[in-house]
Structure 1
Amino acid sequence: MQEDQLSRLACDRCYRRKARCDKALPSCSTCINAGTACCYNARGGLGRGDVSETLERRLRQLENKNRVLSKRLREAQLAARAAGETTSSEVLDAAGEMMDMPDDNNEGADKSEAENDNEVAKEVYSLSLHAGRPRQYLGSASGAILANLFALSRRPGRIGGDSNNNDDDEDYFRRSAAANGQRYSSPEMAKSALPAEPLARSLLAAYLSHDHLAFPYLHPKKLINSLISMYAEEKYYESHPVEAFALDMIFAIATVQVHRFSWQSLPDAETHHERAISKLGVVLESGGLIALQTIMLLCQYRMLSVSYSNSASLWHLLGMATRLGIELGLHREAVYRLPAGLSPADEDHVRQELDIKRRCFWSLFQMDRIVSNTLGRPMSINLVEIDTEHPAVEDDGEASWGPSPSVEDILQYPHWPANTKIFNHITWHRIITGKILSDLHNVPKSRMPDPQTSIAIKKQLAEELDQWKTGVASLPLVDASATRIKDKSNYRTREWYNLLYHNCILMLHRPIHSLQDIPQTSEVLTQIYYFSQQSISSYADLHKARKINYAWVTLHAVFLVGLSYVYALRTHFQNKRREIKGLGDGWPSPARALLTLEPSISQIVSDMRACSTVLVALSERWNTGRGCHEVFARLSDAVLTDASEYFMGTKIQTRPLPNQEGRLNRHLPSGEQASQQASWPLVSSDFDPNYQDYFGGFPELFGDHCDDNIFLHPQFGWNFES
């Protein structure tokens, strides 16, 4: 420990060379003898934040294991006493004195278990907070209240094994980045690490064909010209730090996207990022729009990267960017007026610069909405305070790409007509998301509107969402089923816009201040079930077509969609059981929220399998996020137990009455009514005896933590807490 503390105080040169440093100021003797500068820089990796998270997670696991063992011991004690087994009872009592609390404290122990055992909520907190750092406030839009619905009972058969065997290992990406990353002490060293020109052209083309569609705040022609000059002119990289920084960050962003299917090579993105950071101070000194674009590049990379430093915060970086943009007046239309008396050539140049400013503002607006929605925090840019118009679609007048554009096509026609149309439509969706945040989720509890007003607000927002969805038909999209198409951007697939629509509907019904914010009606429950099911299907299609964004915000969104699906099924089956019990006891059954079309066991298994597949693919890229698919797997077990007990214990006929079908059609948008029968297959009146065959593929799908068939071990009691 003493040597470790001294090594943390060593200068950078001695630390890298693993040499003894006398820590003399202003320069140590080793640096004086070598004739080099003696620098002491903060090393963010030494904090080992992942290690503390691992220890906290492991501590929670051991505490939960201890509670489960104590509970089993109490049950064994009671069973032994009831059977009159004196000898066994004495042994168990002796063990209980060491392991367990007295019986009169059982109520307190159960209360503690209920308070500390909600692993679902902990995963939502982790997914939301790690997206932005630091870990402070979480709002309702993040899904924290919805997650508190699920208090999981532990399965004793699973407590013996670790839920994450890799928790004690340092994150692979952080180790690789530390090993491969380096500080470039001279521009010559930085230039020598540049990618080969063909690779650089491919990375720039990948950026323009995907990321630039949603965030077009850099001029594509200038980027292409800078790339050509950087490889054609010997001193261009050293003499143009602004252009060099932008290209390095684009290489990093594009590498994350291009290699998202082979994510072991992601440290290459950190190499580009490290090379760009070495020029950050010089670039920020330029100020103005250049400084804003610089910070936005950093924010965009942190929204995508799986390996980011603990020292910097996406939330704080984005706050700096929004304040700088407002300081530049980009939120006011008056800034974009053309000055009088310009020559035709100057007027065209100024018009292009103003158009880039306009796109820069709306790109910043989108980033603000994405991060605020993920964290559930107030937005930095208020819609009522801006009057900036959207970019004009007619500004794009060049040739468009074909269905499979090559690198040369993209670099020759970078500013194609569909760019602006897609960008404006995505921005419209972010505006609607912001309205949901400001009108519902970010309103203090003391100023919450009454239930009737809330229903009116939700209805108005749902109508605007329907208008937005109708406009998707006018976008130049590609068929996701065409697997040979080179374009891998999800911004050009209809599935991506469908899931945006479905997720917004779910966000409308997400609880705000308490669980009572969800109206307990069949209409709302049906919408939650249907749209969560459709979102799962869209994510699965995008994942199958290799068009999904492997980012923190996507992982958070998929997990919340899965929770919404589980909530709808859980509420339906629990209300069904209460209804049957009330009829059996002779009590009149009150109106309860039920699904108007009851899903079959096979449909539930299929949906759970699809959602878990996407969660596994996304969560495996982050050390902290790997627990979410394990939690969802246990939720799947619990829901399937609820469903199977209901189907096996009752004789049902799920085909709805004519008036029920009419109610369902009123619950869904008109465009969804035609497909709802195909999405919800009806089941027969008897339980399918082949249902258990579905569990044969669970170990392959979920991993070792789902190797137990809950129907072979009914004593585990893995239902939700009622």
Structure 2
Amino acid sequence: MTSKDFRDQLGKFRLEAPALLPVTWSSPTTTSFSKASPRAQQLSPSPLARPPSSTPQPPPPSDSLSPLDSTTATATATTTATRSKRVSTACDFCRKRKKKCDFRYPNCSACTRAGVRCTVPPPGPQVASASVPRDQLETLQNRVRWLEEIVRRKVGIAVADMATGSSVDGGSDPDWWYRVPAMIASSATRSSLALPTPHLLSTTPTTMLSPAANSSTSTPPGLAAIATEPPTGVGVELPNVGEILRDQLENRRPSVARPAVAPRVLRLSSLEEAERVAGQYFDSLGYQYPFLPRSEFFGHLRHIYMGGVPAPEVHNTYHIIIAIALLIGSAEPAQATDFYQASQETLSHALQNEDLPSIRALLGLALYSMFATSGPSIWHVLGATLRLAISMGLHKARPYPTPMEEEMAKRAFWSLYNLDRLIASTLGRPLGISDDDISVGLPRELNEDGMEAPGASTMTIPLQVIRLRRIFSRIYHYLYSNLPQLPPEEAAATLAEFRREVDDWRFSAPVYPSALLYSTSYYDYLYYTTLLLMYRPSTRNPHPDTISVISCGDSSIQVIRSYWDSYSVGKLKWIWLTLSQVYFAGITILWCLEQNARCLRDSRPPMWQPDEQMMRRAIQAVVVLLEQFGKRRPGVDRLAETFRHQSTTIFSQMAYRQQQQQQQQQQQQQQQQQQQQQQQQQEQQQQQQQQQQQQQPQHPSLQLPYLSQQTPRHTPHMPPPLLPPQLPVTLAPPPPPPVPLAPVLDDVLLVDGSGAMPMIDPQMAEQLYYSYNWFQEEMASYYTL
């Protein structure tokens, strides 16, 4: 808009109040700008102005006009008998100094030289001598268009063609429940609706249908998804009624902008310290739950430490991530608690809408609850997060505006999936969502710069974890459901198939050089915990076979070894989840040893023959870890004492069985030696008889009386037979020790010198393994408080 155009338009406003006469809505080019230049006549009308009409039209009602519309209509409709006085077109600065104004837009030359803002008297009646900038009209028009676009994108309703003050929800139309969905409407009905181009947004799960330009009422939000999302019904012409009415059934509210709040912001000693602490989170949990981009978080971190005021969702994410990082870094719990409490100040604002920031806020809260002794129930938080994710449709394969939005949505959902599988299996509870209901694909291996690098990106390890969790989920659902028990043959075949999948996963897992420990040791830990879940007694396989017992024992030793290595370098996380895994692995070893004892009682070879030294070290490691847990968590000392008693009893029983077995073997050896000696004597007698027969004369009939008389006399005086020189001489074994050497942990021998069977609770041997169920209930009670 040039200076001349603005001057021509500004000079047409009148100061008098509008007369109470009928208003004629005529063309602006013929009424208001009759004396304008040709260039001004070619300008397009303002977006806020009504379109020209060849016939007179009645004015719109007063309640349907915006303030700008009312001002324009009032100025245009003022027609009086006398010619009104024109407004001065000079700006206030030039008018006060009685200088000629050159009407430059948006600032005249005099105002530009003086460094002041160029203002002019407002159109219409003077109000408190207020002045407005020259470009106020254009600025307001641009802002209105911008706000209308925001409303359309956030709510899904185009308000540009709606009357001011109209309701934008479905409550204003009582008949919207009975409307026919657009997907099954006739072609004539569809042609009457001017549907705009649908926009899929990441900030709202449902894209609303914009109303038609010529419709008097807005389309209800619940019916909006039909025009923008693919059909989800049974057939092409039958929509999914649940998807149509989900907004009303769930009492959804439109997404709105989060309020700009300025709560307290906690900071560490320096930016370098904050980056170091945050790096501990991304170098550990960031590989397991990659819902938060590292570059994005560090960008917000620098902004905060430079004095910037973060948005509510950024404020919440910053404080909860720092709180988690302080917990896993073995910092002071009080400092982590302060950051957690600061994050709660903006949690309600972060959860205001159904969008990705809400999912991130809940995931951060769940991780904090898993590592802290305070906070909400992780089971309840995961349930709410899964409901929100399903409501947003994150579990479905659907298009997104940009690839990055799609990638972030996938990472958030699969992080939630991993955490749900872990907590559900630990507590022995059902899974939050079935794998059959998931159609979204896996995330891509993208670096922070957005470039795809298979096997060499920060998403390499998370992808491997997701793949194993999906196998883990199928195993858990198959073996721990309430379906009938499996026949032994079917159970063995199914476990063999699962074992092949798990082995293939481990052999194909790539090594990520930037995180060598996570791509090797962490893979091994996940591998053995999956085998432990698969082979231990389950609902559908309560009596495992020999292969299952061997796999349970070996996997338990490897799991305990993994935790012991972390404890040795001071990196063990003293959380309830670690305690559960350690105790469970230790109980499994004792259960395998009990199976060996049963085999010995039945005179069968033992099922599991582990390395004796490695097995004893694993049991001792469990005792040490439980004792250390008892110093940090109240109540764990009782669990450690119970495990010590169980292990002592099992080892004492094993020692007694081994002693009995050794005695039986010694008796068998002595019997074998006696039998060998008897056989040797018989062989010697036979040889002597053969020699005597060879020494008899040619006429045996003459010598028979003599031999028959002499043989009885010389038989008692014969020397004892000599042992053959080629046979070894077997010595008798030494007598067994009076007390069996039972490998106990607390120097208490339950086997006395009499060699009698130790006193064992008859039910403890049967229920030894299932004592973990009691601990599972204890864990479940803690996580759901």
TM-score band, normalised by shorter chain: 0.5 to 0.7
d(CA) in 2 for partners of 1:417, 1:282:
37
Give per-residue Cα distances to partners, 1:106-158, cap 9 Å, x unaligned.
Answer: xxxxxxxxxxxxxxxxxxxxxxxxxxxxxxxxxxxxxxxxxxxxxxxxxxxxx
Q: Which amino acid in the other structure matches residue 518 of structure 2?
A: Y
d(CA) in 2 for partners of 1:332, 1:450:
36
Q: Which amino acid in the other structure matches residue 257 of structure 1?
A: I
Q: Which residue of 1 aligns with 2:508?
A: 471
Q: Secondary structure at the match of 1:595?
A: coil
Check if 1:333 corresponds to 2:358. no
Alpha-carbon distance, 1:529 to partner: 1.9
Check if 1:595 corresponds to 2:607. yes
Give per-residue Cα distances to partners, 1:16-36, cap 9 Å, x unaligned.
Answer: xxxxxxxxxxxxxxxxxxxxx
Q: Which amino acid in the other structure matches residue 518 of structure 1?
A: H
Q: Which amino acid in the other structure matches residue 620 of structure 2?
A: R
Q: Which of residues 635, 646, 653 in structure 2 aligns to 1:635?
A: 646
Give per-residue Cα distances to partners, 1:574-607, cap 9 Å, x unaligned.
Answer: 320332xxxxxxxxxxxx572253653x444322
Q: Which residue of 1 aligns with 2:411?
A: 359
Give per-residue Cα distances to partners, 1:384-435, cap 9 Å, x unaligned.
Answer: 12122212225556899xxxxxxxxxxxxxx994421100011111111111
Q: Which residue of 2 aligns with 1:507?
A: 533
Alpha-carbon distance, 1:287 to partner: 3.1
Q: Which blocks of at least 5 consecutive residues in structure 2 are unaligned?
A: 1-259, 666-732, 767-785
Q: Which of residues 374, 378, 386 in structure 2 aligns to 1:314?
A: 378
d(CA) in 1 for partners of 2:418, 2:654:
40
Q: 1:269 to 1:685 in 2, by over 3 A?
A: farther
Q: Which residue of 2 aligns with 1:251?
A: 322
Q: 1:639 to 1:474 in 2, by over 3 A?
A: same
Q: 1:192 to 1:467 in 2, by over 3 A?
A: closer
Q: Which amino acid in the other structure matches residue 331 of structure 1?
A: H
Give per-residue Cα distances to partners, 1:436-476, cap 9 Å, x unaligned.
Answer: 111110x214x444433332221211111001111235443
Q: Which of residues 212, 222, 232 in structure 1 aligns to 2:296?
A: 222
Q: Which of residues 332, 335, 345 in structure 2 aligns to 1:268?
A: 335
d(CA) in 1 for partners of 2:323, 2:351:
19
d(CA) in 2 for partners of 1:250, 1:593:
54
Which structure has more RCO (C-alpha within 8 Å, separation ≥ 6)? 1
d(CA) in 1 for partners of 2:404, 2:471:
28
Give per-residue Cα distances to partners, 1:50-84, cap 9 Å, x unaligned.
Answer: xxxxxxxxxxxxxxxxxxxxxxxxxxxxxxxxxxx
Q: Which of residues 430, 439, 444 in structure 1 aligns to 2:469?
A: 430
Q: Which of residues 544, 554, 573 in structure 1 aligns to 2:568?
A: 544
CA contact (8 A) 2:266 2:342 kept: no
Q: Which amino acid in the other structure matches residue 557 of structure 1?
A: Q
Check if 1:460 corresponds to 2:511. no
Alpha-carbon distance, 1:296 to partner: 0.9
CA contact (8 A) 1:372 1:378 kept: yes
Q: Which amino acid in the other structure matches residue 594 of structure 1?
A: P
Q: 1:598 to 1:553 in 2, by over 3 A?
A: closer
CA contact (8 A) 2:379 2:423 kept: yes
Q: 1:397 to 1:615 in 2, by over 3 A?
A: farther
Q: Which residue of 1 aligns with 2:759?
A: 717
d(CA) in 2 for partners of 1:510, 1:378:
18
CA contact (8 A) 1:396 1:416 kept: no
Check if 1:518 corresponds to 2:548. no
d(CA) in 1 for partners of 2:515, 2:278:
21
Q: 1:390 to 1:620 in 2, by over 3 A?
A: farther
Q: 1:707 to 1:334 in 2, by over 3 A?
A: same
Q: Which of residues 553, 578, 589 in structure 2 aligns to 1:529?
A: 553
Q: 1:653 to 1:425 in 2, by over 3 A?
A: farther
Moved more, 503-512 or 224-233: 503-512
Give per-residue Cα distances to partners, 1:639-675, cap 9 Å, x unaligned.
Answer: 2111211222222899xxxxxxxxxxxxxxxxxxxxx
d(CA) in 1 for partners of 2:495, 2:370:
29
Alpha-carbon distance, 1:556 to partner: 1.0
Q: 1:530 to 1:192 in 2, by over 3 A?
A: closer
d(CA) in 2 for partners of 1:650, 1:327:
64
d(CA) in 2 for partners of 1:472, 1:687:
52
Q: Which amino acid in the other structure matches residue 270 of structure 1?
A: T
Q: 1:651 to 1:297 in 2, by over 3 A?
A: same
CA contact (8 A) 2:659 2:740 kept: no
d(CA) in 1 for partners of 2:587, 2:442:
35
d(CA) in 2 for partners of 1:508, 1:552:
22
Check if 1:383 corresponds to 2:407. no
- Within 5 Å, give how 1:555-594 maps onto structure 2: 555-579=579-603, 594=606
Give per-residue Cα distances to partners, 1:189-223, cap 9 Å, x unaligned.
Answer: 83366654333222112112111111111122221
d(CA) in 2 for partners of 1:685, 1:513:
50
Give per-residue Cα distances to partners, 1:541-572, cap 9 Å, x unaligned.
Answer: 23223444433222111211111110011110
Q: Secondary structure at the match of 1:517?
A: coil
- Within 5 Å, give how 1:81-120 maps onto structure 2: none
CA contact (8 A) 1:571 1:593 kept: no
Q: Which amino acid in the other structure matches residue 606 of structure 2?
A: L
Report the TM-score when normalising by structure 2: 0.51
Q: Which residue of 2 aligns with 1:285?
A: 352
d(CA) in 2 for partners of 1:460, 1:476:
31
Check if 1:207 corresponds to 2:281. yes
d(CA) in 1 for partners of 2:738, 2:267:
62
Q: Which amino acid in the other structure matches residue 283 of structure 1?
A: A
Q: Which residue of 2 aligns with 1:609?
A: 620
d(CA) in 2 for partners of 1:272, 1:653:
67
d(CA) in 2 for partners of 1:383, 1:710:
50
CA contact (8 A) 2:447 2:458 kept: no
Q: 1:220 to 1:630 in 2, by over 3 A?
A: same
Q: Secondary structure at the match of 2:398?
A: helix
d(CA) in 2 for partners of 1:255, 1:626:
26
Q: 1:267 to 1:419 in 2, by over 3 A?
A: same
CA contact (8 A) 1:495 1:541 kept: no
Q: Which amino acid in the other structure matches residue 532 of structure 1?
A: S
Q: 1:368 to 1:267 in 2, by over 3 A?
A: same
Q: Which residue of 2 aligns with 1:95?
A: none
Check if 1:496 corresponds to 2:522. yes
d(CA) in 1 for partners of 2:262, 2:439:
46
Query: Percent of pairs identical after alignment?
Result: 21
Q: 1:275 to 1:317 in 2, by over 3 A?
A: same
CA contact (8 A) 2:652 2:742 kept: no
Q: Secondary structure at the match of 2:632?
A: coil
d(CA) in 1 for partners of 2:644, 2:301:
47
Q: Secondary structure at the match of 2:357?
A: helix
Q: Which amino acid in the other structure matches residue 277 of structure 1?
A: Q
d(CA) in 2 for partners of 1:324, 1:362:
14
CA contact (8 A) 1:637 1:718 kept: no
Q: Which residue of 1 aligns with 2:34?
A: none
d(CA) in 1 for partners of 2:510, 2:574:
26
Report the TM-score when normalising by structure 1: 0.55
d(CA) in 1 for partners of 2:663, 2:553:
20
Alpha-carbon distance, 1:377 to partner: 1.5
d(CA) in 1 for partners of 2:382, 2:653:
44
Q: Secondary structure at the match of 1:651?
A: helix
d(CA) in 1 for partners of 2:300, 2:267:
17
Q: Which amino acid in the other structure matches residue 634 of structure 1?
A: H
Check if 1:650 corresponds to 2:689. no
Q: Which of residues 529, 554, 577 in structure 2 aligns to 1:553?
A: 577
CA contact (8 A) 1:373 1:437 kept: yes
